[in-house]
Structure 1
Amino acid sequence: MRKIKFACLLLFAGLGIFGFFSESGFVQTANSFTAGPPAGFSGAPDENNCASCHLGPASVGQFAILNAPASYTPGQTYQFQVRHTTADTTRLKWGFQMTALAGQNSAGTFANANGNTQTITENGRFYIQHTTAGTYTGQTLSAEWTVNWTAPSALVGPVTFYAAGNQANNGNGPDGDQLYTTNSVSQATVRRPIFDFDGDSKTDLSIFRPGPVTGAEWWHLRSSDGGNRATQFGTSTDTVVPADFTGDGKTDIAFWRPSTGFWYVLRSDDLSFFAFPFGATGDIPTPADYDGDGKSDAAVYRPSTTTWFISRSTGGTQISNFGAANDLPVAADYDGDGKADIAVFRRNGQSGTEWWLQRSTDLSVFAVQFGSPTDKAVSGDYTGDGKADIAFWTPSSGNWFVLRSEDLSYFAFPFGTATDVPSPGDYDGDGRFDAAVFRPSTSTWFAQRSTAGTLIQQFGTAGDVPLPSVFVR
């Protein structure tokens, strides 16, 4: 028991030099960890926090993790706080240790915001804790540390932040100290792939079949069970705009009627529909989740005035001027904040092709030259970092070019032929876009899945439009 107590005393952040009894009863002295405890005392389920070894009056204070992200995006950095508060003015020294775990595994990395914290690693786990300066010796009522945490490079499920904190009396002994534990959970951001009609997080092979007499038909091959589904909805002159307008995780069949500016949405949950006006003849419909609530918003880009009109599902209409004559809208979440960014694809003749983005995080503008006027814009998250990558497909060669969002380097690879229709999406559900094409001559799909190998599937007939291609510009 005394050996255990010895280890616990080493954790104690509030002491300078203190004594303890050895097994022989001889009084010794040992340095405590005012400069920070050893790894493994964060209060995580399989770690210690020495609460049983620090004796003191009933705890009257609070210890909390504040402003930790409710959900995280891979690779994104978040800043939040760890805070002690108490009305007990005998608390004169402060400390903490925190780690982040997905299950039993370390998740992400910590970094210091200032000199009051330090990072350590042990057994594959990453910790952040106080420094000597960060004990705030002599300070009463509260103490706070700011930390930076960078999420894992890929989704790893829920991440729990575990923290243990010490409100010490600076009394040169283990008596009179109060130790606290707390935790906070950050969920993985759910990024539903586009054209996922059955809600299994995979893009489905799907087509739009214009019908001059009987009306338009929608066909999709459910990746969840291999079954076919067909629905008659709209006419051959309508513009198809499938997206998850209801927020149930499934793409809704939908179209926009250029002659009236009306949107028609067939709910995926009960196949009832609703309609509303938004836009005018000449507009380009470009639905996406611009407000980050998990529902796609009706939106149009008006080339005549280079104006964006966005009907937010959370309420209100956003009107923004962004673009130039002959630009094409390529909205996507380029900054990884869970909201689609306004963006345009600009073909500049011999000068090449430009991409202009307005980040929703801070409204800053980013521009880059990438591609040629004959290329097709196929932006999407090909690297799985939670941010859409600028990308294009060259019909003459069948080559795909992807500009990595993380460092603006690019990679290229061949997939498809000149007469194919590029139809990118996440066909294997791993959180990364896959290069894919639809071959009209044989109604055959080819998808280069990033984890499940190449998919070759015949689905459709002559004259069909592959739905994953409808937002390719």
Structure 2
Amino acid sequence: MIKRTIYLTLLAIPLFLMAKLPEKSSAGAPAAHTGAPGEGNCGTIGCHDDNSTNSGNAILNVDMNAINNYIPGKIYPINIRITEPSVERFGFQLVALVNSDTSNAGNFLLTDVVRTQLVKSQYQFQNREYVTYTYDGTDAVNTGLGEWTVNWKAPVTNQGAITFYASAVSANDDESDKGDHVYTKSLILQPNYKGIELQK
């Protein structure tokens, strides 16, 4: 009887430890949570909603190698980076929309399928394409740094101004959605008319 009790106790220990591991969402952020026109973000509609958006100490950046215009059909790398000292868990979502009608602009091309994935909404904004994190993509690259890279292919024709809308989460890793902070950022690209002329 004693041996049986010891065996069951030893068996229960790893199960208890597994249950206490920090949770990570394998599905990524739900589509349409970037703060783009018509959308909320994870701090206003759902999960991480107990702190005001952009009220924490993290810094969110969306960078395309400092470019501010696009040539139709060309592929551009995008870097999404959020920093906050001591944080070990982050998440993000990104969408690109045409300013004139808020339709989807171009396409995202994954460069890191381990940390990023593409998602679409099953309900509203079904035409919009989103890139977000994966299960492994929530881990900090280094303590205090969340970072993801993806390529974006510009529309094949001039669509006028295009805006990238990003939302990111700096999580406290307490096995819940509470106490986290959500941030938003946008980046506007104008068409490169010189490049368009060269393509003709």
**TM-score of the pair, normalised by structure 1:** 0.33
Instruction: Provide, for residues 257-300 of structure 1, a one-character-per-residue CA deviation record: whole Å limited to 9, x for no partner.
Output: xxxxxxxxxxxxxxxxxxxxxxxxxxxxxxxxxxxxxxxxxxxx
Specify the alignment match of 2:81 in structure 1.
83
- Percent identity between matched residues is 32
Residues 75, 386 of structure 1: 8 Å contact kept: no
Summarize the Cα distance change of 1:126–1:176 in structure 2 as closer, same or farther, 3 Å threshold.
same
Q: Which runs of 5+ in 1 are unaligned?
A: 1-14, 17-31, 192-337, 339-384, 389-431, 433-473
Structure 1 residue 172, shift from structure 2 partner: 1.5
Q: Give the aligned partner of residue 71 of structure 1.
A: 69
Query: After the TM superposition, which residues 3-18 of structure 1 pair with which residues of structure 2 at under 5 Å, given as runs?
Result: 16=23
> Would you tell me which structure has more helix in proportion to its own residues?
2
Match of 1:38 among 22, 30, 35: 30
1:99 to 95, 101, 114: 95
Deviation at 1:33, TM superposition (A): 3.3
Distance change in 2, residues 1:386/1:108 (3 Å): farther
Distance 1:386 1:95, change over 3 A: farther
After superposition, the Cα gap between the structure-2 partners of 1:34 and 1:179, relative to the gap in structure 1 and judged at 3 Å, is farther
* Aligned length in residues: 166
Question: Following TM superposition, by how much is the alpha carbon of 1:37 offset from its aligned partner in structure 2, in angstroms?
Answer: 1.5
Quote the Cα distance in structure 1 between the aligned partners of 2:25 and 2:135: 9
1:8 corresponds to:
none
Question: Which residue does the alignment assign to 2:106?
Answer: 108
Measured in 2, the distance between the counterparts of 1:141 and 1:107 equals: 31
- Report if the CA contact (8 A) 2:43-2:51 is conserved: no
Which structure is higher in strand share?
A: 1
Counterpart of 2:187 in structure 1 is 184
Q: How does 1:372-451 map onto structure 2 within 5 Å?
A: 388=199
2-structure distance, mates of 1:386, 1:151: 16
Query: 3-state DSSP class of the match of 1:146?
Result: strand
Residues 73 and 386 in structure 1, CA contact (< 8 A), matched pair in contact too = no
How far residue 162 of structure 1 moved from its aligned partner, in angstroms, is 0.2
Aligned residue for 1:119?
118
- Whether the 8 Å contact between 1:93 and 1:138 is mirrored in structure 2 is no
1:137 offset after TM fit, Å?
A: 5.5
Q: Could you say which structure has the larger radius of gyration?
A: 1
What is the distance in 1 between the residues matched to 2:83 and 2:140? 15
- After superposition, the Cα gap between the structure-2 partners of 1:128 and 1:386, relative to the gap in structure 1 and judged at 3 Å, is farther
Distance (whole Å) between structure 2 residues aligned to residue 386 and residue 75 of structure 1:
13
2:50 alignment partner AA: L
Tell me the equivalent position of 2:19: none
CA distance 1:167–1:107, shift in 2 (3 Å): same
SS state of the match for residue 106, structure 1?
coil
Q: CA deviation at 1:66?
A: 1.3
Matched, 1:158 2:161: yes
Say if 1:386 and 1:50 are closer, same or farther in 2 by CA, change over 3 A.
Answer: same
TM-score w.r.t. the length of structure 2 is 0.75
Shift of 1:176: 1.5
Deviation track 1:110-137 (CA, whole Å, cap 9, x = no partner) reads: 0111121111233111111111111115
Higher relative contact order (CA 8 A, sep 6+): 2
